[in-house]
Structure 1
């Protein structure tokens, strides 16, 4: 869909999407919020944070994160210096966006812990402590921890909720994950419409996007009175955004936000594209009987493994691996920065 001339019969496409869905910013770049806001939530992950903290203009944040990590490391006996420094930088970057949004900052837990419930719980609690230390007056109800949608991760969400810490289930590709996320009390889930790999490998094409999962999960939550919201992510074109207009929330990358903001189209034409129109919902809907996995690990694992011949499991593993790579790169940056500052006497 190309941009057309603005006239009385057309609407701004970004404003149209905002009228149908909550629009969140998928960037830690302050300029994006100023340029294309207002947004509700600001979401981030290890890839976003590593890319942003590597920018020269973020050197002050990087150096302060390293210095604070050295200062308070003894208070956190179960974490390495480099991990703590990266966590401080992630929270610092998110807090810098917080005054420019209406809702929550979303910080992702360490993906290397995705198969350890105790470590994820500890990590979530530590991120909340860091947030309070950096900004004592910040309302911690505006902090949401993103957790990988493994069995262990979603059980950690259950425990974090008991501690009063909000969670979002990320790296989510199947209804089994969506069902369990609602059962454990996640405030949101983020179905990845496309495999995460498409954002890291320009030669890779995902031939099996999962638009229907966004519709099915949202209908399931409504039907069974869950408060969990669907926050769609990993869309790669304006047409895909418009197909999902009507989802509870979106995280949209900056390049697509700019395209939406500079495009105008007939409101009826835009409405006709949405999968959330009643006829499309009826066509896309699968069996929506109430399910439960929360106390049955074996049942969850086999259902998750068998869904779509294992495609969802494969996509989840792939996404976790990519985020793990970014975590490792970021921790290396923290070590190198600490060594550089030590050599320079800073």
Structure 2
């Protein structure tokens, strides 16, 4: 019997949710994703010290540019050991400014271009706000493909699909966290609200022939991953990837095209905002996620500021 990780790779593209190059090299995922929190962790890894120093050269006080340089340096290193793509996140503090998101996305792509890395190996990560989705729609038309993150609601998934984004990252674990705290209940298997959310989105996309890739993210345990086996992609932490690698049990495919899904519905801005307002969990977790990434972006910039001579 092969490991659960190897079985999972038979019907799901496995993505490493980390900036740890050693772990990526060991566990051999297809793609990798980073975010401000993971880059902040990477900044304390000794092997990235030279990237930190190089990132602040001639930035003239522009710590946002320095942070993007560091993200691209980390991403470029990861791309040397994976066959697929790296997802690099736009500053979360810009999540409600469409034009600023577009400018920052272009800056990141330009940095990858200068590093000799073609855009077909990069996904730009944007928060799934209305403004983020609209920015992604424009970027996709320019040939810059996007990963819409911090996605917690069905309305966000609907809007992303209609915008033609390449990939979405619905968050399983953070949905689970909210319901566990709100109700005091433990959720396991198919009863997990995070698992139910991704399953609903997956079935909706397949039933309506949307091409947008569904990549479940933010896992708390192996059970959540097992219930979503068969999802287009799953982005998983090194710790959980290692547990899957060590487990020789059977892993059946749970998600497949052909299941019933809700009929297609296109949301305008007012409908999107109302649906978001009606979903207390999604409203709370989106705002919290943006705040958390913003604080970690600020901490990363403080690390970089200390490197400026």
TM-score (norm 1): 0.82
Cα deviation, 1:147-195, whole Å, max 9, x if unaligned, reads: 0000111111011112221111100001100011111121111010021
Cα deviation, 1:106-132, whole Å, max 9, x if unaligned, reads: 000000000000000101011001111
Q: Is the 8 A contact 2:176 2:194 kept in 1?
A: no
> 105-114 or 311-320: which moved more?
311-320
Q: Equivalent residues in 2 for 1:222-233 (5 A)? A: 222-233=206-217
Q: CA, structure 1 residues 206+190, in 2 after alignment: closer, same or farther (shift >3 Å)?
A: farther
Alpha-carbon distance in structure 1 between the residues aligned to 2:225 and 2:92: 27
Q: Is the 8 A contact 1:187 1:229 kept in 2?
A: yes
The offset of 1:237, in angstroms, is 1.3
Q: Is the 8 A contact 1:215 1:275 kept in 2?
A: no
> 113-122 or 328-337: which moved more?
328-337
Residue 68 of structure 2 corresponds to residue 84 of structure 1: no
The offset of 1:99, in angstroms, is 1.6
Q: Which residue of 2 aligns with 1:144?
A: 123
Identify the match of residue 51 of structure 2 among 56, 61, 78.
61
Q: Which residue of 2 aligns with 1:316?
A: 286
Identify the match of residue 255 of structure 1 among 239, 262, 279.
239
Alpha-carbon distance in structure 2 between the residues aligned to 1:197 and 1:43: 21
Q: How many residues align?
A: 298
Q: Equivalent residues in 2 for 1:148-227 (5 A)? A: 148-195=127-174, 209-227=193-211
Identify the match of residue 7 of structure 2 among 3, 12, 16.
16
Other structure's SS at 1:32 match: helix
The offset of 1:332, in angstroms, is 1.2
Q: CA, structure 1 residues 206+185, in 2 after alignment: closer, same or farther (shift >3 Å)?
A: farther
Alpha-carbon distance in structure 2 between the residues aligned to 1:190 and 1:58: 27
Q: CA, structure 1 residues 196+95, in 2 after alignment: closer, same or farther (shift >3 Å)?
A: farther
Residue 289 of structure 2 corresponds to residue 306 of structure 1: no
Unaligned runs of 5+ in 2: 178-183, 187-191
The offset of 1:65, in angstroms, is 0.5
Q: CA, structure 1 residues 230+68, in 2 after alignment: closer, same or farther (shift >3 Å)?
A: farther
Other structure's SS at 1:19 match: coil
Unaligned runs of 5+ in 1: 1-9, 71-79, 199-204
Q: Is the 8 A contact 1:194 1:209 kept in 2?
A: no
Q: Is the 8 A contact 1:171 1:319 kept in 2?
A: yes
Q: Is the 8 A contact 2:17 2:34 kept in 1?
A: yes
Cα deviation, 1:7-52, whole Å, max 9, x if unaligned, reads: xxx3311111111211011111111122111x21111100011110
Q: CA, structure 1 residues 196+84, in 2 after alignment: closer, same or farther (shift >3 Å)?
A: farther
The offset of 1:55, in angstroms, is 2.2
TM-score (norm 2): 0.91
Q: Is the 8 A contact 1:197 1:318 kept in 2?
A: no
Cα deviation, 1:66-100, whole Å, max 9, x if unaligned, reads: 11534xxxxxxxxx611110010001101001021
The offset of 1:57, in angstroms, is 2.5
Identify the match of residue 331 of structure 1 among 265, 279, 301.
301
Alpha-carbon distance in structure 2 between the residues aligned to 1:34 and 1:128: 24
Q: Is the 8 A contact 1:194 1:206 kept in 2?
A: no
The offset of 1:251, in angstroms, is 0.5
Structure (1 or 2) with the larger CA radius of gyration: 1
Q: Which residue of 2 aligns with 1:119?
A: 100
Q: Is the 8 A contact 1:146 1:168 kept in 2?
A: yes
Which runs of at least 4 in structure 1 moved beyond 6 Å after TM superposition? none
Alpha-carbon distance in structure 1 between the residues aligned to 2:27 and 2:154: 32
